[in-house]
A and B are shown apart, each in its own frame.
Chain A
Amino acid sequence: MHGAPGAAAPAPTTPAATAPHTGTPSWRLLTVLGAGGALAGGLIVTAYLATVQRITAHKAALVVGAVREVLKAPARWDTLYLVGGKLTKQAPTGPGAQSVERVFLGYDAADKTLGAAITAGEPGFADVVSLIFGLDPGTGALLGVKVLGHKETPGLGDKIERPTFLQQFVGALTPLKGVKTKGADKSEVQTITGATITSRTVIRIVNNATARWQPLLQAYRQEGSR
């Protein structure tokens, strides 16, 4: 059984090399590791098959929920992929296909364009703030903003998730301006007291993403094609 003395400390030692040692030939070591690997693989694949459906369904539901929320209940939407500097409905294939950027163009029941749902993220106070927002590419007006993830300070920066802050973005005109007190200008957004940097980050994300995607969306519209 175990020839080694049992004086092991909790700290582990390096995984031992599989070079032939006195007693245990390397084929035995390899067989053990191979068998162990196969067993492990079998267990993992079983667990994967049991859970993959629920996980993908949940992830898809999150996207659907977010798009619905920021486009104000569209009847349907197309996924547009950014390939070669242009937006196209053709889904890309091959390695790296997963990381191709995409936006969602929503239509109402009468097939009129409602707007595009765009995800974007930039560094905020603590870490990256990521959000999704609905943009009307024709007028540059916003339909809604939803914060997808952040690591801002609880009690201060996390106020960007509050409806009182996000409500300001509905109908606002890009490019947005952050102000201390909101006036009549439709492009003004009131920043949160004690969370100026985080509020400004949200405004900056929306402005930068709009500047980037609006021309692409307008070019796509102009092509008119399917």
Chain B
Amino acid sequence: MSDLAWILISSLLVNNFTLTLFLGLCPFFGVSKRIDTAVRLGVANLFVLVLTALCVWFLNRFILPAAPFLRLITFIIVIASLVQVVEMAIKKWSPVLFRALGIYLPLITTNCAILALAIFQTNRGYTLAQGLAFAVGAGLGLTLALALMASIRVRLDVADVPALARGLGIALMIASCLSLAFMGFAGLGAA
């Protein structure tokens, strides 16, 4: 399997950001129980991830070699700015989407998945193409996990969940089952 294809499949399924790497859990457990909102949030994350991969590549290539110790600070500032820009863009072009996403947009800044993407991309020394493939796979993986969780929680709303498990308890048990299922993708792409 080609290098780029493997990076995409790996970050999408085998090493899913949410279910295997434990990133982006705040929206995963907190996001609304509606599938369409979950998918929209996932796509917003995907957009921010791709832009982040682009900026991180640029920073690593041209600016950070002069001051490697400023890496983390630069990353978080760039991410915060990107989210601000994306938020303004969505507000301008689709006020409906903006209203639907509400509080979740600014929260993308503290979504550990974005910063983790920047750190992983740096540690692995990805080229621009590899970084973009990584970001697309990660974003789609996040969206997939969010959609799965949302669709299960829609059913959970009308199920008889015991009082002690309501909220995070049952959500974690479900996540454990999803994660177990995703383990089945291991070995995908290895010859």
- Residues of A bordering B, CB below 8 Å: 11-15, 17, 40-41, 44-45, 47-48, 95-96, 98-99, 123-127, 153, 197, 200-201, 204
Contacts and interface: CB of A to CB of B under 8 A. Distances in A.
A13 B106 contact: yes
B95 interface: no
A126 B185 CA distance: 9
A126 B65 contact: no
A15 B65 contact: no
Interface in B177-191: 186-187, 189-191
A160 to B, nearest CB: 13
A98 B65 contact: yes
A197 B187 contact: yes
Interface stretch (B79-87, B140-148, B154-162): B79-87
B190 A48 contact: no
B15 A126 contact: yes
A200 B1 CA distance: 15
B95 to A, nearest CB: 17
B112 to A, nearest CB: 13
Given A95-B61, A98-B65, A14 B109 contact: yes
B69 A40 contact: no
14 contacts: A11-B110, A12-B107, A13-B106, A14-B84, A14-B106, A15-B81, A17-B84, A40-B73, A44-B73, A123-B189, A124-B190, A126-B14, A126-B15, A197-B190
In the complex, the 7 A-B pairs of residues with the closest C-beta atoms, listed nearest first: A14-B106, A48-B69, A15-B80, A125-B187, A197-B187, A125-B186, A44-B69
Nearest to A152: B186
Contacts of B69: 44-45, 47-48
Interface string B59-100: 001100100011001000000110110010000000000000
Contacts of A12: 106-107, 109-110
Contacts of A197: 187, 190
Contact of B65 (A48, A95, A125, A153): A95
Nearest to A52: B69
Interface string B33-52: 00000000000000000000
Contacts of B103: 11
A99 B127 CA distance: 10
B167 interface: no
A80 B84 CA distance: 46
B121 interface: no
A61 B26 CA distance: 40
A14 B86 CA distance: 12
Interface string B1-39: 100001000100011000000000000000000000000
A110 to B, nearest CB: 37
B154 to A, nearest CB: 23
Contacts of A204: 191
Nearest to B77: A15
Contact of B191 (A99, A126, A153, A200): A200
Contact of A96 (B61, B110, B189, B190): B61
